[in-house]
C-alpha cells in the first residue's frame, strides 16, 4: 500500500512538470529534464502495471490511457484502473469477519437439505461451501410491495421496539419520510432503546448534519460508512455500502431494494411511480442478517457487539417456510455475480430477472444465452427510462446480443423499476440490494436473500406477472432499425460498463 500512496504523490508532480513544459518560458534544457522526469514516472507505472498480470486487453487499455492522455489518464488510472486492489484495501475486514463467522457457525447445526428438489439442493450445496453464513430454517419471509406497504410496516415495527434498533442504509434523505423515521429513532432512544445507525457517506450525502446531531443528542449512535475525506487517497471512496438493513430486537429484520426518501414512495414528480420490493423476516435468518450489520458496525465504529449475548441470541423460531440463506458480498468477499451465475445455471424451466441497472458481465451473459438456447424461458425486465444516461445506454448495448439468443426483454413503462430479483423455475429466488451491474458485483457492499421453496417466492412470481402487464416486450427488429446516433450512445456508454 506504500506503493499506492507514492502513486498519488506523483499526481501533483506530473501536473507541475506539464505546467513547466507548456506554460512557462524556462530554458529548453530544463524542459527536456521535465519531459524525461515525466517519462520516467509513466514508464515506472507501466512496468508496475505489467507486473500485475492482468488480462492482455485490460493491460493494453491502461497503457494506451497512460501514454496518450497526459495527467488525466494517470488520474483516471488511479481511481478506476486499480479497483481490483479491493482485496488489499479490505484485507483486515475480510480476515476478521471470516474468523468471527466461522466461530459462530460452529455452534449451529447443519441443515437437512433433503426437502429440496435436486436443482435447489445443488444451489444450496454451493451456498454452503462458498459462503461464511448458513442456510436458515424456522424462518418466515413476507414480500412487501412498493414504498407505502414497506414503510408503513417499517414504522410500525420501529415503534414497537423494546431493546434495540440497528439500521443501515445506502441512501437516507432528510426529507419528509426520512425525518419521520428519524423522529421515531429519536423517540425510541429517549425511551431507553439502543439505536445504532449506519449511513453511506456518498449515498446519503444529502442527509442533514443538523438531523444527525439531533439524533446523537438523543442518544442515537450514528456513523457514516467510509467518509469521502478518509478514503480519497486510498481509493476507498469508490467502495460504497449499498445495503439496506433494519434489525429490531433481534426478532424482526428488513432487507430489500428500498432506500429512505420520498421518491421511494413515488412522490418525486420527476421520477413518478416507483416499483420496488422489500422483505420482512422473522425467525432464524434474522440472526444471520443481524451479523452482517454487527460486522459492519465493528469495522466502521470499532464497537465489538458480537460478544454480547443480547445481540447474537437465537431469535424465536418462526413457522417453517422453506429455507433462507442470507448472503453478504463486498470488495472483501466473493462477488455476487458468482451466486447469480450459479443460480442461473441451476434453472430447468425458467429464469425471470428484474433489475434497474442491467449491465451483466460476460459469464452472466453466457449463462443466459446458453439457457435460452436450451429452451429455458429467459425473461429480463428493466425500466423504460433509467435515472442516468450511462446506465440507460450501457444497459441497452447488451440487448441485441441477448435478443438474438431468444431471450425476452421487457421494458417496464408504469414508472421506475428498482427491484432486484431473480426467480428460477418459479420455485426459488434471489432478492436483495445487489443490482446486475459491475458496481454491485465488484465494488459495493451488498446483501441478498436466497429463498428456497418459501411461500414468498410465489408472491414474487405473482408480482412479476403483474409487472409484465405494465411492460412492453422489446423485439429484435426495433434494434435493427436504430439510427447511428442511438447506436453511438450505446457504444459510448458501454465503455464505462466496468465502473457502472
**Exactly one of 117, 249, 338, 470 is catalytic; which is it?**
249
Under 8 Å between Cβ of 447 and 292: yes
User: Does the annotation mark 325 as catalytic?
Assistant: no
Active-site annotation holds for 175: no
Please say if 418 is a catalytic residue.
Answer: yes
Is 458 a residue of the active site? Answer: no
Q: Which of 211, 276, 335, 425 is catalytic?
A: 425
Query: From the candidates 93, 166, 188, 242, which is the catalytic residue?
Result: 242
In the beta sheet, which residues pair with residue 43? none
Q: Whats the size of the chain, residue-wise? A: 500
Active site residue 321: no
CB within 8 Å of 237: residues ≥ 6 apart: 202, 226, 228, 231
Active site residue 442: no
Out of 86, 188, 244, 278, which one is annotated catalytic? 244
Name the catalytic one among 418, 442, 463, 489: 418
Among the listed residues 420, 442, 463, 489, the single catalytic one is 420
- Return the active site residues: 242, 244, 249, 418, 420, 425
Amino acid at each position: 500500500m506504500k506503493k499506492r500512496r507514492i502513486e498519488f504523490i506523483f499526481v501533483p508532480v506530473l501536473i507541475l512538470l506539464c505546467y513547466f513544459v507548456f506554460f512557462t518560458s524556462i530554458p529548453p534544457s530544463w524542459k527536456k529534464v521535465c519531459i524525461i522526469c515525466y517519462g520516467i514516472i509513466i514508464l515506472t507505472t507501466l512496468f508496475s502495471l505489467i507486473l500485475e498480470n492482468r488480462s492482455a486487453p485490460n493491460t493494453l487499455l491502461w497503457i494506451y490511457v497512460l501514454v496518450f492522455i497526459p495527467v488525466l489518464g494517470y488520474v483516471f488510472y488511479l481511481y478506476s484502473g486499480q479497483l481490483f486492489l479491493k482485496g488489499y484495501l479490505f484485507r483486515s475486514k475480510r480476515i476478521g469477519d471470516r474468523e468471527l463467522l466461522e466461530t459462530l457457525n460452529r455452534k449451529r447445526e447443519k441443515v437437512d437439505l433433503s426437502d429440496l428438489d435436486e436443482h435447489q439442493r445443488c444451489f444450496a450445496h454451493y451456498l454452503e461451501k462458498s459462503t461464511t453464513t448458513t442456510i436458515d430454517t424456522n424462518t418466515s419471509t413476507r414480500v412487501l410491495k412498493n414504498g407505502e406497504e414497506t414503510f408503513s410496516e417499517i414504522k410500525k415495527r420501529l415503534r414497537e421496539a423494546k431493546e434495540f434498533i440497528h439500521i443501515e442504509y445506502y441512501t437516507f434523505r432528510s426529507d419528509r419520510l426520512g425525518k419521520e423515521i428519524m423522529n421515531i429513532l429519536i423517540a425510541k432512544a429517549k425511551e431507553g432503546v439502543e439505536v445504532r445507525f449506519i449511513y453511506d457517506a456518498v449515498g446519503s450525502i444529502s442527509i442533514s448534519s443538523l438531523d444527525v446531531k439531533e439524533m446523537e443528542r438523543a442518544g442515537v449512535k450514528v456513523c457514516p460508512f467510509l467518509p469521502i475525506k478518509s478514503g480519497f487517497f486510498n481509493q476507498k471512496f469508490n467502495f460504497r455500502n449499498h445495503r439496506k438493513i433494519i434489525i429490531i430486537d433481534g426478532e424482526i429484520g428488513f432487507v430489500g431494494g428500498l432506500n429512505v426518501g420520498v421518491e421511494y414512495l413515488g412522490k418525486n414528480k420527476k421520477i413518478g411511480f416507483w416499483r420496488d420490493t422489500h422483505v420482512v423476516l422473522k425467525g432464524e435468518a434474522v440472526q444471520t442478517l443481524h451479523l452482517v450489520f454487527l460486522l459492519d458496525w465493528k469495522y466502521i465504529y470499532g464497537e465489538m457487539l458480537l460478544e454480547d449475548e443480547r445481540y447474537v441470541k437465537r431469535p424465536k423460531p418462526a413457522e417453517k417456510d422453506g429455507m433462507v440463506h442470507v448472503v453478504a458480498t463486498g470488495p472483501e468477499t466473493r462477488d455476487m455475480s458468482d451466486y447469480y451465475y450459479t443460480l442461473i445455471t441451476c434453472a430447468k424451466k425458467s429464469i425471470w430477472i428484474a433489475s434497474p441497472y442491467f449491465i451483466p458481465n460476460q459469464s452472466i451473459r453466457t449463462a443466459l444465452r446458453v439457457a435460452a438456447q436450451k429452451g429455458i424461458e429467459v425473461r429480463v425486465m428493466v425500466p423504460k427510462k433509467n435515472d442516468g444516461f450511462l446506465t440507460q445506454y450501457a444497459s441497452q448495448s447488451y440487448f441485441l446480443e441477448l435478443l438474438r439468443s431468444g431471450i425476452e426483454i421487457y421494458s417496464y413503462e408504469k414508472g421506475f423499476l428498482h427491484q432486484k430479483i431473480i426467480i428460477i423455475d418459479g420455485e426459488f429466488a434471489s432478492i436483495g440490494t445487489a443490482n446486475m451491474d459491475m458496481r454491485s458485483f465488484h465494488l459495493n457492499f451488498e446483501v441478498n436473500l436466497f429463498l428456497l421453496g418459501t411461500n414468498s417466492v410465489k408472491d414474487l412470481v405473482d408480482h412479476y406477472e403483474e409487472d409484465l402487464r405494465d411492460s412492453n416486450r422489446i423485439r429484435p427488429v426495433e434494434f435493427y432499425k436504430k439510427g447511428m446516433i442511438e447506436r453511438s450512445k450505446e457504444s459510448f456508454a458501454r465503455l464505462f460498463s466496468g465502473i457502472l
